[in-house]
Amino acid sequence: MLDGKKVLFSGMQSTGNLTLGNYLGALKNWVSLTDEYECFYCVVDEHSITVRQDPAVLRKRARALLILYIAAGIDPEKACLYYQSHVPAHAELAWILDCYTYMGEMSRMTQFKDKSAKHADNINVGLFAYPVLMASDILLYQTDIVPVGIDQLQHLEICRDIALRFNNIYGNVFTIPEAYVGKVGAKIMSLQDPSKKMSKSDENPNASIYLMDDKDTIIRKFKRAVTDSEAHIAYSDSQPGVKNLIDIYSACTGRTSDDIVKEFDGRGYGELKEAAGECVAGLLSPIQVRCAELTKEKDYIDGIIKRNAEKASYTAEKTLRKVQHKIGFPDRIR
CB of 69 to ligand TYM, least distance (A): 11
- 141 by Cβ neighbours in 10 Å (0-12 / 13-18 / 19+) ranks as buried
x/- letters, 9..48, toward ligand TYM (CB under 6 A): xxxxx-------xx--xx-----------------x--x-
Count of residues in the chain: 334
Strand ordering across the sheet containing 80-83: 80-83, 38-43, 7-12, 145-147, 178-180
- With CA atoms as reference, report the closest residue to 33 among 179, 150, 138, 240: 179
Query: Judged by CB, which is closer to ligand TYM: 10, or 239?
Result: 10
The packing angle between helices 110-118 and 153-170, to 10°, is: 130
- The half-sphere exposure of 50 on its side-chain side, counting CA atoms within 13 A, is 24
Query: Judged by CB, which is closer to ligand TYM: 114, or 230?
Result: 114
277 near ligand TYM, rule: CB under 6 A: no
197 near ligand TYM, rule: CB under 6 A: yes
62 near ligand TYM, rule: CB under 6 A: no
Judged by CB under 6 A, the residue of 6, 59, 165, 187 near ligand TYM is: 187
Judged by CB under 6 A, the residue of 7, 64, 67, 134 near ligand TYM is: 134
CA 294 to chain centre: 21
As annotated, the active-site residues are 115, 197, 200
Number of residues that bind ligand TYM (CB under 6 A): 25
**CA distance readout (Å), 94 to 50, 85, 233:** 14, 13, 48
Query: Judged by CB, which is closer to ligand TYM: 41, or 269?
Result: 41
* Contact indicator for 215, 289 with CB cutoff of 8 Å: no
Listed ranges 52-60, 183-191, 278-286, 313-321: which one lies at the site for ligand TYM (CB under 6 A) = 183-191
Dihedral of the alpha carbons of 204, 108, 65, 83, in degrees to the nearest 10: -160
Listed ranges 185-193, 258-266, 272-280, 306-314: which one lies at the site for ligand TYM (CB under 6 A) = 185-193
188 near ligand TYM, rule: CB under 6 A: yes
CB of 67 to ligand TYM, least distance (A): 16
Q: Which residues are at the interface with ligand TYM (CB under 6 A)? A: 9-13, 21-22, 25-26, 44, 47, 134, 137-138, 146, 148-149, 151-152, 155, 186-188, 197-198
